[in-house]
């Protein structure tokens, strides 16, 4: 192993000699972090940085100042790169065409042959496919949830495309794939009305109306990449081989060796912070898997199914496993994420996973992502959403979901919301209930003020205010606690001043989530899940509440739970994970074990061919680990025993093991990736609540905006409490109580309330 001097890396944080004096950015470019420059070959920089400084090729050293012109951010504390403000549009097929080497006719022939091979491969599996309804069942495969948005044909087409690509590579001995263009199947976005729609669409389309941008961030649109994927075959084979050529360690082996279940409460954040994070995660991302009902492991879990469905990638469990061995389990189910059909001309020939919910922070977990879903959720009266309403209890809850297997068979009730995952955890149902109540509360108030408004207007106006409050809470209260003040300023994740419009919108910013962000960085939350919820009448083991929200029928349960969530500390982000999620995730009826979410996260990273941890450290301008000694002293030796080389460490593993940044809960690599993504959610959203009339066709008036900017999580909780005279709230609702954050009664004047009179026509 080579010992590099870590501090002298290019783009290193805080390094005094990182900038050449007088080298600030040329006109038409601005200084940004490397992750935010779409126009540059980030991978070549990362590759260069992966060599210790004295081994970097001199021929490439000249790039350091010409191609990658460095600049400083935050008074020299961080280094950035000069990036063109208006990037040259990508995908303009500047790649060399195959036509120069092979005739067009030959190219067509090869393609047709490859398509046939792929089709046969696929048929083989479809023939074995049971007629079982795929849109059901949390329990057959154990995971994940039914999905209603992306049609099965699209998934099949995506699968067929990658299989074709793989066949093409085989029959042309790998010479073709990189340059192959298939223009006849370009994915064409819908024509969007130029800027006139006052309300955002449910599916997220037409948020961007620039040419080629109408599908950015839309449900079903492929995820972006911070770095190119590390597919085993460059196309879709998962990343399973280590730097040394040997297999990477099993994801379960990593989870069981590195992660333990110990109590490590966070010093300042409460469980509501954890719970809000999951709710938010479900708003912006949902990995569509290829098939929900297929089985990858035998029923008894002792082995993998032979000739299983092509997306099966079960996780091997060793016979000496410290938990699963006692149940004889040697195989944990895992189905790969679906990939988008390759109709996107700009896309290269490799799998791109898709999100089946809109990527924007737009309340899609409340309202659904399709017209059909939203239609089913709406009351079609007074702009309200359907609900269960107990007048005596003053207890409004989401409507019941009667779909078979939507919850645990033991559950007496199960709720229907805009997102199929809402019954996962009892406290997640609470956050859904909160937003449902807020929507209906607003719709009722607006109706009183404007009796002439019809159902549709009331619905859309209430929705617009709910989304605005959600975004305001995310950027004002939640995110700064996740990434800490330094990364929040580095990525300019600020709010606009009260009563003033922001002009965050930047039409060249693609708001879509990246694979790396959804499969690794934002799953930091899994480490924050507590083993028990300290309910008023005694603690309950977390996994006992999975897919079973029955207790919501109790009169004061909702109020009591919200109080618990605020007073109980969440767990810290570290190598500790509750057994509720590493042993008992989605226990099937009659079984004494579930599955391991930490292992799934690692496996999901390999399924998406996310690159190893070190590459993302370098992308974030931090030195990579050249040796296992560069990791913390307690984890270095363990990692050495598991991985052959520091460049093999999975992103999720490396990221979760980093100590938290100052004032935040995650380590620097995840902080950088999360800050980057939320900056894109903000800059790439034309409808961002504080954007003014210059960009936002659904902007608020200045007095309305000022009202929304006063709102807090505490306001929402109090505005929707069952018993506001008895309910107490913390003004800083995501923080534990302390001297300056004492519980106060909801009716107290300190709790801001939304003055809707500004919405009177």
143 makes contact with ligand HEM (CB under 6 A): yes
Site for ligand HEM in 288-307 (CB under 6 A): none
DSSP string spanning 321-386? -TTGGGGT--EE--BPBPB--TT-TT--SS--BBBSS-SSSSSHHHH-SSHHHHHHHB-SSTTPBP
Pairwise CA distance, residues 710 & 259, whole Å: 41
584 makes contact with ligand HEM (CB under 6 A): no
Interface stretch with ligand HEM, choices 279-287, 294-302, 610-618, 732-740 (CB under 6 A): 279-287
Whether 526 has a binding-site annotation, put simply, is yes
Measured from the CB of residue 356, what is the shortest distance to ligand HEM in angstroms? 8
Assess whether 282 carries a catalytic annotation.
yes
274 makes contact with ligand HEM (CB under 6 A): yes
Measured from the CB of residue 196, what is the shortest distance to ligand HEM in angstroms? 32
User: Which listed option, ligand HEM, Ca ion, none, makes contact with residue 311 (CB within 5 to 8 Å by class)?
Assistant: none
User: Which listed option, ligand HEM, Ca ion, none, makes contact with residue 310 (CB within 5 to 8 Å by class)?
Assistant: none
Pairwise CA distance, residues 515 & 142, whole Å: 23
358 makes contact with Ca ion (CB under 5 A): yes
Residue from 205, 333, 472, 526 binding ligand HEM (CB under 6 A): 526
Interface stretch with ligand HEM, choices 273-281, 306-314, 447-455, 701-709 (CB under 6 A): 273-281
**Nearest in space to 622 (alpha carbons), one of 41, 229, 33:** 33
How many Å separate Cα 620 from the centre of its chain? 19
Q: Which is nearer to ligand HEM, 142 or 383 (CB)?
A: 142
478 makes contact with ligand HEM (CB under 6 A): no
Give the E-state strand segments of 46-112 in sequence order: 70-73, 78-84
Q: Which is nearer to ligand HEM, 528 or 614 (CB)?
A: 528
529 makes contact with ligand HEM (CB under 6 A): yes
Interface stretch with ligand HEM, choices 52-60, 278-286, 366-374, 561-569 (CB under 6 A): 278-286
Neighbours of 64 (CB within 10 A): 16
Residue from 525, 549, 646, 698 binding ligand HEM (CB under 6 A): 525
Site mask for Ca ion (CB under 5 A), range 137-176, x = bound = ----------------------------------------
**Nearest in space to 264 (alpha carbons), one of 512, 575, 49, 711:** 575
Q: Which is nearer to ligand HEM, 281 or 331 (CB)?
A: 281
Interface stretch with Ca ion, choices 35-43, 50-58, 359-367, 600-608 (CB under 5 A): 359-367
Q: What residues does 316 pair with on adjacent strands?
A: 331
Pairwise CA distance, residues 356 & 339, whole Å: 11
Size of the site for ligand HEM (CB under 6 A): 23
Give the E-state strand segments of 670-752 in sequence order: 728-729, 744-745
Q: Which is nearer to ligand HEM, 552 or 631 (CB)?
A: 552
User: Which listed option, ligand HEM, Ca ion, none, makes contact with residue 285 (CB within 5 to 8 Å by class)?
Assistant: ligand HEM
Q: Which is nearer to ligand HEM, 260 or 644 (CB)?
A: 260
Pairwise CA distance, residues 36 & 514, whole Å: 12
Measured from the CB of residue 46, what is the shortest distance to ligand HEM in angstroms? 23
Q: What residues does 541 pair with on adjacent strands?
A: 532
Q: What element of type H or E holds 461?
A: helix 455-473
Catalytic residue from among 54, 263, 266, 282: 282
Decide if 703 contacts 515 (C-beta within 8 A).
no
Q: Which is nearer to Ca ion, 255 or 358 (CB)?
A: 358
Pairwise CA distance, residues 727 & 573, whole Å: 30
**Nearest in space to 587 (alpha carbons), one of 220, 285, 282, 324:** 324
Q: Which is nearer to ligand HEM, 165 or 543 (CB)?
A: 543
Measured from the CB of residue 229, what is the shortest distance to ligand HEM in angstroms? 16
Q: Which is nearer to ligand HEM, 209 or 674 (CB)?
A: 674
Measured from the CB of residue 525, what is the shortest distance to ligand HEM in angstroms? 2
Give the E-state strand segments of 190-284 in sequence order: 265-270
Q: What element of type H or E holds 731?
A: none
Site for Ca ion in 361-390 (CB under 5 A): 362, 364
Measured from the CB of residue 604, what is the shortest distance to ligand HEM in angstroms? 4
**Nearest in space to 496 (alpha carbons), one of 518, 468, 517, 519:** 468
What lies within 8 Å, CB to CB, of 115 at 6+ separation is 160, 164, 167
Measured from the CB of residue 595, what is the shortest distance to ligand HEM in angstroms? 8
Q: Which is nearer to Ca ion, 281 or 599 (CB)?
A: 281
Pairwise CA distance, residues 693 & 701, whole Å: 9
Q: Which is nearer to ligand HEM, 185 or 263 (CB)?
A: 263
Measured from the CB of residue 72, what is the shortest distance to ligand HEM in angstroms? 32
144 makes contact with ligand HEM (CB under 6 A): yes
Side-chain half-sphere CA neighbours of 632 within 13 A: 14
Interface stretch with ligand HEM, choices 67-75, 97-105, 274-282, 320-328 (CB under 6 A): 274-282
Q: Mark 233-265 as b/e (b = at least 16 C-beta within 10 Å).
A: bbbbebbeebeeeeebbbbbbbbbebbeeeeee
Q: Which is nearer to ligand HEM, 141 or 624 (CB)?
A: 141
Site for Ca ion in 231-290 (CB under 5 A): 283
- Tokens 């950027």 -> residue: 475
- Tokens 């996107």 -> residue: 344
604 makes contact with ligand HEM (CB under 6 A): yes
User: Which listed option, Ca ion, ligand HEM, none, makes contact with residue 518 (CB within 5 to 8 Å by class)?
Assistant: ligand HEM
Length of the chain: 761
The number of helices, as runs of H, and strands, as runs of E, in the chain is 21, 13
User: Which listed option, ligand HEM, Ca ion, none, makes contact with residue 358 (CB within 5 to 8 Å by class)?
Assistant: Ca ion
551 makes contact with ligand HEM (CB under 6 A): no
- Tokens 């929402």 -> residue: 716
Measured from the CB of residue 562, what is the shortest distance to ligand HEM in angstroms? 16
- Which pairs count as long-range contacts for 50-59, CB under 8 Å and 24+ apart, including other chains? 50/614, 50/615, 50/618, 50/624, 50/647, 52/2, 52/3, 52/4, 52/5, 52/626, 53/4, 53/5, 53/8, 53/9, 54/4, 55/2
- 320 three-class SS: coil
CB-count burial class (<10 Å; 0-12, 13-18, 19+) for 614: buried
Reading the block at residue 307, the tokens are 């000739």
Interface stretch with Ca ion, choices 285-293, 356-364, 405-413, 628-636 (CB under 5 A): 356-364
Pairwise CA distance, residues 482 & 665, whole Å: 5
User: Which listed option, ligand HEM, Ca ion, none, makes contact with residue 521 (CB within 5 to 8 Å by class)?
Assistant: none
Pairwise CA distance, residues 420 & 401, whole Å: 10
Interface stretch with ligand HEM, choices 400-408, 520-528, 717-725, 743-751 (CB under 6 A): 520-528
Interface stretch with ligand HEM, choices 46-54, 277-285, 634-642, 672-680 (CB under 6 A): 277-285
Q: What residues does 109 pair with on adjacent strands?
A: none
419 makes contact with Ca ion (CB under 5 A): no
Residues with catalytic function: 282
Which positions touch Ca ion (CB under 5 A)?
283, 358, 360, 362, 364
Residue positions forming the annotated binding site for heme b: 526
Residue positions forming the annotated binding site: 526
Which positions touch ligand HEM (CB under 6 A)?
143-144, 274, 277-278, 281, 285-287, 424-425, 518, 522-523, 525-526, 528-529, 581, 585, 597, 600, 604
């Amino acid at each position: 192993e080579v010992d590099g001097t870590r501090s002298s890396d290019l783009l290193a944080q805080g390094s005094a000699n990182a900038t050449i004096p007088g080298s600030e950015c040329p006109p038409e470019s601005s200084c940004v972090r490397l992750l935010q420059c779409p126009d540059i070959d980030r991978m070549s920089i990362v590759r260069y940085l992966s060599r210790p400084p004295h081994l970097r090729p001199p021929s490439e050293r000249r790039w350091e100042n010409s191609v990658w012109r460095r600049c400083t951010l935050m008074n020299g504390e961080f280094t950035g790169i000069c990036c063109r403000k208006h990037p040259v549009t990508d995908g303009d097929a500047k790649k060399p065409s195959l036509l120069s080497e092979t005739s067009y006719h030959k190219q067509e022939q090869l393609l047709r042959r490859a398509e046939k091979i792929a089709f046969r491969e696929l048929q083989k599996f479809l023939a074995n496919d049971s007629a079982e309804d795929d849109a059901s069942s949390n329990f057959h495969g154990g995971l994940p949830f039914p999905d209603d948005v992306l049609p099965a044909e699209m998934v099949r087409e995506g699968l067929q495309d990658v299989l074709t690509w793989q066949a093409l590579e085989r029959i042309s001995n790998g010479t073709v794939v990189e340059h192959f263009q298939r223009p006849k199947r370009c994915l064409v976005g819908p024509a969007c009305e130029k800027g006139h729609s006052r309300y955002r669409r449910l599916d997220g389309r037409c948020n961007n109306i620039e040419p080629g941008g109408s599908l950015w961030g839309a449900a079903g649109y492929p995820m972006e990449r911070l770095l190119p994927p590390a597919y085993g075959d460059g196309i879709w084979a998962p990343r399973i081989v280590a730097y040394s050529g040997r297999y990477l360690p099993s994801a379960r082996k990593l989870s069981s060796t590195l992660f333990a279940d110990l109590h490590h409460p966070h010093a300042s954040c409460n469980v509501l912070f954890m719970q809000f994070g999951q709710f938010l995660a479900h708003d912006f991302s949902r990995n569509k898997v290829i098939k929900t009902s297929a089985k990858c492991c035998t029923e008894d879990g002792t082995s993998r199914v032979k000739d299983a469905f092509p997306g099966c990638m079960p996780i091997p469990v060793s016979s000496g496993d410290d938990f699963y061995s006692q149940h004889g389990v040697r195989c944990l189910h895992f189905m790969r994420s679906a990939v988008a059909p390759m109709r996107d001309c700009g896309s290269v020939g490799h799998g791109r996973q898709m999100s089946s919910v809109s990527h924007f922070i737009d309340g899609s977990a409340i309202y659904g992502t399709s017209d059909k879903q939203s239609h089913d959720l709406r009351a079609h009266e007074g702009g309200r959403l359907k609900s269960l309403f107990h007048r005596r209890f003053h207890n409004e809850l989401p409507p019941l979901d009667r779909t078979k297997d939507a919850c645990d068979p033991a559950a007496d009730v199960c709720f229907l919301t805009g997102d199929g995952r809402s019954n996962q955890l009892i406290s997640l149902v609470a956050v859904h209930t909160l937003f449902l109540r807020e929507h209906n509360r607003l719709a009722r108030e607006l109706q009183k003020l404007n009796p002439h408004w019809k159902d549709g207007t009331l619905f859309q106006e209430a929705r617009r205010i709910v989304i605005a409050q959600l975004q305001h809470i995310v950027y004002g209260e939640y995110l700064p606690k996740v990434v800490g003040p330094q990364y929040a300023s580095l990525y300019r994740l600020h709010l606009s001043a009260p009563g003033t419009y922001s002009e965050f919108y930047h039409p060249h910013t693609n708001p879509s989530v990246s694979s790396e962000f959804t499969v690794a960085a934002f799953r930091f939350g899994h480490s924050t899940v507590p083993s028990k919820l300290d309910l008023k009448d005694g603690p309950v083991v977390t996994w006992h509440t999975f897919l079973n929200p029955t207790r919501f029928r109790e009169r004061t349960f909702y109020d009591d739970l919200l109080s618990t969530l605020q007073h109980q500390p969440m767990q810290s982000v570290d190598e500790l994970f509750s057994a509720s999620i590493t042993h008992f995730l989605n226990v099937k009826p009659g079984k004494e074990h579930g599955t391991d979410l930490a292992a799934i996260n690692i496996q999901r990273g390999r399924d998406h061919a996310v690159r190893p941890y070190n590459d993302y450290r370098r992308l974030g301008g931090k030195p990579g680990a050249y040796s296992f000694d560069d990791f913390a002293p307690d984890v270095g030796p363990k990692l050495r025993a598991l991985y052959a080389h520091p460049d093999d460490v999975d992103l999720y593993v490396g990221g979760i093991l980093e100590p938290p940044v100052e004032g935040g809960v995650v380590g620097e690599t995840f902080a950088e990736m999360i800050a980057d993504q939320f900056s894109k959610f903000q800059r790439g959203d034309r409808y961002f609540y504080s954007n003014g009339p210059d960009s936002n066709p659904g902007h608020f008036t200045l007095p309305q905006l000022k009202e929304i900017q006063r709102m807090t999580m505490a306001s929402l909780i109090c505005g929707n409490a069952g018993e506001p005279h008895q309910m107490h709230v913390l003004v800083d609702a995501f923080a534990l109580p302390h001297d300056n954050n004492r519980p106060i009664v909801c009716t107290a004047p300190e709790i801001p309330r939304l003055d809707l009179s500004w919405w009177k026509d």
